[in-house]
Structure 1
Amino acid sequence: MNPVYLVAALRTPVAPVNGAFKTLRVSDLAVPVIQALLAQTGLNPRQIDQVILGNALYGGGNPARLIALAAGLPELVPAMTIDTQCCSGLDSLRLGAQAIASGQADVVLAGGVESTSRRALRAHRPINKDDSPDFYERPAFTPWPDRDPDMADSAARLAHEHGINLDQQNAWAIDSHAKALAAQDRLTNECIPLAGLNVDAATRPLSERLANRTPKVAQWQTSAVNVAGTALQADAAALCLLVSERMLAKLPAGTRAMRWATDISGGGPADAPPWAIVPVVQRLFERNGLSAKHFHRIELMEAYAVQAIVNSHQLGLPLDKLNQGGGALARGHPIGASGAILAVRAYHEMAQAPKGSLALAAIAAAGGLASAVVLEA
């Protein structure tokens, strides 16, 4: 297999749904990121072999192709959109890395984009012509109605099963915002200014009092999750440039490259998606002789505070290496882009890491899926 390198990683700021990006289409979000990546690396659009983007809410079609053309890439460049829900952005990177490793490509633009604010209205066509369409917010993620909980309900169940109360969840959320506020300079370095934003809009000083006042979004017996411990719906785009060793040699001197060390995609119980990261990352560790102690930085998805608490505890992740620039609780969750944002964060967090240091990015998705990647400085 050919070596693969991540040589550039950028994103837009993350804006809460119906916020600063409420009028922007997916192309408006992703095109500036692609153009900035090309400018940063000096690559010609004709050198791109493929574009792969994750997206969950566009409503059909192939937005990756639309975005590639809008960004000025030649029409001969193929583009593919994938939907594995929250894993989409990271899975797009995994597919791009596989294309280079197998010798089918030298340069791949991959990542994710989500315009939750401009998402399609979804409805099932009526059976009878006089009936009204059946609108829905989300599709089924399993074939079993009794094993297809809403994500918030699944998080509340996780809180009940592991005895994680709201005080613990609030404390995690407060810490996530505090770390993001402290890392503002690092975060602006990875963000492309857009629509008046140059950094994530949702980050704020979150006090214990304010967190306690946020309403509950789901309850499972005596346990609950609240707004403070839930990542906001959001809009954003995040992309990375992956290259072969042959192409790396042609890039400008000083290009910072991280080796794509390994990756994994897998599943857990279909009705417990917040838990899926644990068995999948454990398999990644076992296959590669790794453990949590081997990582210099870890980017773990914070769809819910309780999810991050349980995942980090069961995997033994050191908190001083985890989400050091804050997590999704402090920025929001643009579904199709969130996995790619983790990769962008990992790339930039490792800027000063000693050579050979490892970074881990991991995310779970509806239906009990999870994906993870390991990068080496």
Structure 2
Amino acid sequence: MDDVVILGGARTPIGAFQGAFAALSAPQLGAVAIRAALERAGISPEQVDEVLLGNVLSAGIGQAPARQAALGAGLPNSVPCTTVNKVCGSGMKTVMMAAQAIKAGDAQIVVAGGMESMTNAPYALPKAREGYRMGHGQLLDLMIHDGLWDPYGDCHMGTCGDSTAAELGHSRERLDEFAAESLRRALAAQSEGRFTDEIVPVSVPQRRGDPVVVSTDEGPGKGNPSKLPSLRPAFGKDGVTTAGNASSLNDGACALVVASSSVGGTPLGRIVGYTQHAQKPDRFTTAPAFAVEKLLAKHGLNVGDVDLFEVNEAFATVALAVADQVGISSDRLNVNG
């Protein structure tokens, strides 16, 4: 069986909430990433067998967001497209699906990735269709309702983060220390140009004058590690999760060209394996640790056999839970913040 490889990839800069990309939809950002990924991989749009894109906040952006992005990137109408919603894991899931399709012989080249515009998530007015006879209505913020709210425990996902921190004994000081180091690493990586090769600049139309070209992430420059201890808890007065030790609200997109090694070209890397882990919804915070353990066991590896680990810092407590349970040293975890 041929190997599954990554021939190319690109991401937009990560825009701040209501920031540089406020005027662009998720599919528009996705189109930029797809086009750049294909160009870097040396693959023409006509060679693509399928497009898989993750997107969580799909309300209001129109039918088939992945197809919008694909057509916006210049792919033919004949290329099938699918939008995947697995919340924070949506983009990663598309890469797994791409690898599975190639292993099964159903495709040779698949574009996989994710796109999101939290800025443009709309509000909804429940019961408006049937009408209100009297009384007040309530607007729902779909960014929170569809993206950040646990429907089982009826609470914000940040509340789940607080619960996990309490359960694992993660103090506010430890969370802030981790977040401060993560920010310092991101600032260093940005200043040293470590993100340059993966970013594709985005031209943003303006109401007046020439478009503005955005080529760097907005988030790191807005942070100040020294101010983290002064921030208030975000999800309850006794909580430890703040706006500083939780992930920010952002807009952006990324795309990978995943292919069979028989396609040729010079790959960026080979997909050796993947796995998933699920448990109680309010304990999503510790699921990555079990997934890492399962993947290592699946391939007969020890934690020391892996040089670098990248863990989604949904909250600082998530990354710390993985590091503690799996035994990952700080110098091998999220080295670029």
Alpha-carbon spacing, 1:143–1:135, altered in 2? closer, same or farther (3 Å): closer
The Cα of 1:113 is off from its aligned counterpart by: 0.1
Deviations 1:133-177 (A, max 9, x none): 662431497774xx3431110111111112211111111111111
Which segment drifts farther, 150-159 or 120-129? 120-129
Amino acid at match of 1:190: E
Amino acid at match of 1:243: A
Alignment partners' CA distance in 2, 1:65 and 1:207: 39
Deviations 1:215-259 (A, max 9, x none): 211238x54211110111100001111010211x2x3xxx23311
SS of match in other structure, 1:272? helix
Alignment partners' CA distance in 1, 2:77 and 2:11: 24
Structure 2 residue 174 is the aligned partner of structure 1 residue 168? yes
Amino acid at match of 1:263: Y
Contact between 2:8 and 2:38, CA under 8 Å: does it hold in 1? no
Contact between 1:177 and 1:205, CA under 8 Å: does it hold in 2? no
Alignment partners' CA distance in 2, 1:143 and 1:2: 42
Pick aligned residue for 1:213 from 221, 224, 230: 230
Any residues of structure 2 matched to 1:67-86 within 5 Å, and which?
Answer: 67-86=69-88
Alignment partners' CA distance in 2, 1:230 and 1:142: 16
Any residues of structure 2 matched to 1:1-377 within 5 Å, and which?
Answer: 1-59=1-59, 61-126=63-128, 128-130=130-132, 132=137, 135-136=140-141, 137-139=144-146, 144=152, 147-184=153-190, 185-194=193-202, 195=204, 196-204=213-221, 207-219=224-236, 222-247=238-263, 249=264, 251=265, 255-326=266-337
Contact between 1:126 and 1:134, CA under 8 Å: does it hold in 2? no
Contact between 1:166 and 1:226, CA under 8 Å: does it hold in 2? no
Alpha-carbon spacing, 1:261–1:148, altered in 2? closer, same or farther (3 Å): farther
Amino acid at match of 1:151: M
The Cα of 1:128 is off from its aligned counterpart by: 4.6
Amino acid at match of 1:235: D
Alignment partners' CA distance in 2, 1:15 and 1:205: 11
TM-score, normalised via structure 2 length:
0.88
Structure number having the greater strand percentage: 1
Alignment partners' CA distance in 1, 2:94 and 2:301: 24
Amino acid at match of 2:157: M
Aligned to 1:331: none
SS of match in other structure, 2:145? coil
Between the two proteins, the alignment pairs up a number of residues equal to 318
Structure 2 stretches of 5 or more lacking a match?
Answer: 205-212
Contact between 1:17 and 1:235, CA under 8 Å: does it hold in 2? yes
Tell me the percent identity: 28
SS of match in other structure, 2:116? strand
Contact between 1:124 and 1:134, CA under 8 Å: does it hold in 2? yes
Alignment partners' CA distance in 2, 1:227 and 1:151: 13
Contact between 1:268 and 1:279, CA under 8 Å: does it hold in 2? no
User: Aligned-pair RMSD on alpha carbons?
Assistant: 2.1
Alignment partners' CA distance in 1, 2:228 and 2:119: 25
Contact between 1:179 and 1:324, CA under 8 Å: does it hold in 2? yes
Alpha-carbon spacing, 1:229–1:124, altered in 2? closer, same or farther (3 Å): same
Deviations 1:263-315 (A, max 9, x none): 11220222211111122222222222123212122110101112211221111
TM-score, normalised via structure 1 length:
0.79
Amino acid at match of 1:30: G
Computing the radius of gyration from Cα coordinates, the structure with the larger value is: 2
Structure 1 stretches of 5 or more lacking a match?
Answer: 327-377
The Cα of 1:45 is off from its aligned counterpart by: 0.8
Alignment partners' CA distance in 2, 1:205 and 1:294: 36
Aligned to 1:354: none
Contact between 2:29 and 2:252, CA under 8 Å: does it hold in 1? yes
Alpha-carbon spacing, 1:73–1:164, altered in 2? closer, same or farther (3 Å): same
